Structure 1
Amino acid sequence: MLTLDLFSDLICPWCYIGGRRLHRAVGIVEERTGRRFHVRHHAFELNPEMPPEGMDRRRYRSEKFGSWERSLQLDAGTVPAGRGEGIVFDYEAMTRTPNTRAGHRLIALAEREAGRGAAMADRLLAAYFSEGQDIGDPTVLSRLGAEMGLGADVAARLADPALEATVREEEQLAEHMGLRGVPLLIVGDQAITGAAETEALAEVLERHATRPPGCEEGVCSL
């Protein structure tokens, strides 16, 4: 099993697109090579100072990008790229920009208990971008976690200090790396910034999967 490390945030449309492209690339390379990959998500917050309850999206985006018109232009730029990955962006349904820290804890919980952090991340991104759900709302997170098979007591388990510690450590790692934007994918000793196209990702993954023994983690040994 080869591990791929992906830094992303849940309010990043290109993380949604990039995650779907990576999923397709993994499927292609697994079929070609017989090797198996595991995508390990790492938390990154584009808005670390966001209030716990989030903010009105129009107000937040207008302040961040200088105007609502500029925000709309940026949103529109993601629509065709998303369509190619089976993603429908419903920006009109999105009324709040959430605080994503609890969502990252939910991903960590799904990874810890079921090895399904990547699937949980995709579900949260779909809930936000395609369904207009407030993924900072604990009730929404509990329902989505249960939907993904994590049980009916998700809300209580999200309060586990170990999950918060995991998210904090991942964000400290990103800070140590000097990471300023996402998505960022690490494949062995190679870092890929942005939502790379599926074919380019598959080429990198296949090279990684077919390295000789001793080179699988980016360091070749005698």
Structure 2
Amino acid sequence: MARYIGSLCKLCRREGFKLYLKGERCYTDKCAIAKRPYAPGQHGKQAKKPTQYGMQLRSKQALKRIYGVLERQFRRYFEEASRKEGNTGENLMRVLETRLDNVVYQMGFAVNRRTARQLVRHGHFLVNGKKVDIPSYRVRPGDVIEVKEKSRSALPIKQGIELAQKANRKLDWIEVDYNAFKGTFLRLPTLDEMDVPVDLQAIIELYSK
């Protein structure tokens, strides 16, 4: 599958806010967007008034980049969200939040979603006692995610736990026991509980054209 292999900091600068793609660096003064708060490229400093389509596109691109999802998969997620009852934006966010790689990140077992995706692919996690190596696997309420015993000494996992504890990351729909290297996905989060840095309505309008 194709993946972006360029500079992650450029993605944050392009969207105009932190996407938290690089882990601990994003919380320090070394963050690129803190040093250069403008879009990359020779015309980055030239402020332009975005069009309505431009704002819709930027919202979609930002959300895709935050969760590391490509266009075809993102569109499938949107179509699934639009078919469900209730708020389409909330449904879309729930689909993204229940991906296994995201849950691993939110539990604090990886410094960012990119690392979480790699760890899942390499088979470092168990879901309800069974190995799952599919990053897009959908976690359900009540599922227990656990680091395999042989993987508990892995540096990326230790770094993730240290950063989560340092940042005091706590979510009401997730319960984590770092001493046991496991966590429980308690329930689906509500839209108010999810940190949504983009305009979801703009994404809905873009795909509804």
Q: TM-score, normalising length from structure 2?
A: 0.26
User: With CA pairs under 8 Å and 6+ residues apart, which has the higher RCO, 1 or 2?
Assistant: 1
Q: TM-score, normalising length from structure 1?
A: 0.25
- Structure in which a larger fraction of residues adopt helix: 1
